[in-house]
Amino acid sequence: MAKEIILVSEPWIGDKEKELVNQALDEGWVSSIGRFILEFEEKFAKFCSVKHGLAVSNGTVALHLALEALGIESGDEVLIPSLTFIATANAVHYTGAKPVCVDSEPETWNLDVEDLRKKITSKTKAIVPVHLYGHPCEMDEILEVAEENDLLVVEDCAEAHGAEYKKKKVGSFGDAGVFSFYANKVITTGEGGAIVTDDDELFEKMHFLRDHAMSKDKRYFHPEIGYNYRMTNLQAALGVAQMERIDEFIENKRKNAQLYNSLLKDTKGITLPPEKSHVKNVYWMYSILIEDEFPLTKDELMKELKEKGIDTRPFFIPINLQPPYKGQPVCRVAEEISSKGMSLPSSTKLTKEQIFGIADVINSGH
């Protein structure tokens, strides 16, 4: 019998998901017109306590569309954390602007506001804070920097659906908040993304650009270049079903993290994931740092876990170390966190027994 592998992340697809996707199929609305799109957009915006939601094909284009609609263009600079998924940098690049890497803060692994201030130039137009692995960025300070320097803020919330900073949901702080619904994210639509905003004008602009910038008054007249960044009704049907359980998913992730924390807190050489007292971390990926005092190297531990049927994931490689972005400022803290970091299985349907088993392997004394 093949050994059961515990994956880092699997989606939880229930009966409701199947029922609603089948409804969309039966009704024949399989592309991007259909009732589930509006329902999903409404539900998701409400969940974020934001006025508008716009569903798009994935999180990467959500970032691109928001930046483009906000007028980011060639010649501009956009500040991003170096420690993030490549999509954050690429989306900036697609606008013609230059992403500029900001180093991480050692405690939360998110962008360091001190370093953010240092990286501002006369060309800087926007900041894209990333709520890494589900822990919110220091939003009050970031908004203060943005205000003082007249910068736009697009939150990359692809890993942090439902996370809160001072009791307010991420995505509701910036000019826009961007989400991904890839299979391993907090909820999934297969592939998919969304942008939330309170700004009516920005919403209209993004809506227009999402559908090839077609004029509202005259069909097939396109006053500018737009995109096909639409989500399908099939995906939105999946999303509507997932929204019924999003709070439960987040609760499960937090409970799993607490259990992991309690089992690993006394293990020498392991740094547990952060949760500052004024935030709610959704622990998208339960992530730890393997310090020098740990008896094994990170790679050795990952190998040992793999042999026991437990999948893990290394941290992102900082943007300043990616070949297309060479020439970026060195980000030492980001590089160090990246070299030590790994994520353990974090699926919403992970069982207590599985977590006990994973902690046992890590604590086995070696």
Nearer to ligand PLP, 130 or 236 (CB): 130
Q: Distance of alpha carbon 203 from its chain centroid, rounded?
A: 20
Comparing CB distances to ligand PLP, the nearer of 164 and 304 is 164
CB 128 → ligand PLP: shortest distance, Å?
Answer: 9
Nearer to ligand PLP, 180 or 287 (CB): 180
Minimum distance, C-beta of residue 289 to ligand PLP, in the bound complex (Å): 19
Nearest residue (CB) to ligand PLP, 60 versus 301 = 60
* Burial class, 122, CB count within 10 angstroms (exposed 0-12 / middle 13-18 / buried 19+): exposed
Least distance from C-beta 66 to ligand PLP, angstroms? 12
Distance CA 240, CA 21 (A): 10
- Rounded to a whole number of angstroms, the minimum distance from the CB of residue 239 to ligand PLP is 13
Beta bridge partners of 98: 77
Closest separation between CB of residue 326 and ligand PLP, Å?
21
Q: Which residues are at the interface with ligand PLP (CB under 6 A)?
A: 58-60, 84-85, 87-88, 130, 156, 158-159, 180, 182, 193
In the complex, the smallest distance separating the C-beta of residue 284 from ligand PLP, rounded to whole angstroms, is: 8
Phi and psi at residue 298, to the nearest 5°: -60, -45
CA distances to 88, 325, 330 from 318, rounded to whole Å, are 11, 10, 10
Q: Which is nearer to ligand PLP, 281 or 294 (CB)?
A: 281
Nearer to ligand PLP, 92 or 302 (CB): 92
With CB atoms as reference, the residue minimizing the distance to ligand PLP is 59
Cβ contacts of 28-37, under 8 Å, gap ≥ 24: 29/233, 30/232, 30/233, 30/234, 31/230, 31/232, 31/233, 32/230, 32/231, 32/232, 32/233, 33/233, 34/233, 34/236, 35/233, 36/233, 36/234, 36/236, 36/237, 36/239, 36/240, 37/231, 37/233, 37/236
The CA-based dihedral angle spanning residues 98, 103, 104, 105, taken in that order and rounded to the nearest 10 degrees: -130
